[in-house]
Amino acid sequence: MANDYVGKGMHGGIISIRPFYYADKPFVLAGNTILYGATGGELYIAGSVGERFAVRNSGAKAVVEGVGHHALEYMTGGVVVNIGNFGYNVGAGMTGGIAYFYDKEGVLEKHINTSYVLVQDITEEDIELIRSMLESHVKYTDSPKAKEMLENGFEAFKKIMPIELCVRSESSDECVQKV
């Protein structure tokens, strides 16, 4: 188990956090404000984290198995994959980066901050990125949950995009990422 501020200001390298053993119920493995202000590197946590995950993240990649409230707050870059539960106010102030959340119950849109982000279906390109990140997650944590997701497909994943990075056509409400 790790405390608050794991990966604060992280610029490179890899952090991997996993439990001593895996059980049927989810583990909380790290505290609050994880990846605060990170500019690079990779983080893999085979459990959930507390409040304010990836706040001000501007370049790190991360896979976690659950986040609390205010995840992705003021995020400006990087890629996050969350394969667990999530709290409210996801993406408040988010102006960059991309996140993929596992949303089997279809409730993600009720949890995002609609002033800053929107939820989209994933593309084949997104699936390849998610697959690659989950494979790394398994490599560094041996996560049973990630293994199961790799075997069962990606249809329950949703993409979270900052509105600032979107161009909408008049004929569709779909976001096309700005180049």
Range of the domain at 109: 14-177
**92 or 20, greater pLDDT:** 92
Whats the size of the chain, residue-wise? 179
User: Residue 73: is its pLDDT beyond 70?
Assistant: yes
* Residue 3 resides in a domain: no
Q: What is the pLDDT of residues 9-29, one digit of tens each?
A: 999 999 999 998 888 777 899
Strands (E), 2-135: 14-17, 42-45, 58-64, 76-82, 96-102, 117-121
* Residue 140 resides in a domain: yes
Q: How many domains does the chain have?
A: 1
* Residue 1 resides in a domain: no
* CA diameter of the chain: 52
DSSP structure class, residue 90: B
* Residue 6 resides in a domain: no
Q: What is the pLDDT of residues 110-124, one digit of tens each?
A: 999 999 999 999 999
The predicted pLDDT at position 24 comes to 78
Quickly state the pLDDT bin for 167 (edges 50, 70, 90). confident
* Residue 76 resides in a domain: yes
* Residue 68 resides in a domain: yes
* Residue 37 resides in a domain: yes
* Residue 56 resides in a domain: yes
Q: What is the pLDDT of residues 142-159, one digit of tens each?
A: 999 999 999 999 999 999
Where residue 60 sits, what CATH number does that domain have? 2.160.20.60
Average confidence (pLDDT) over 132-141? 98
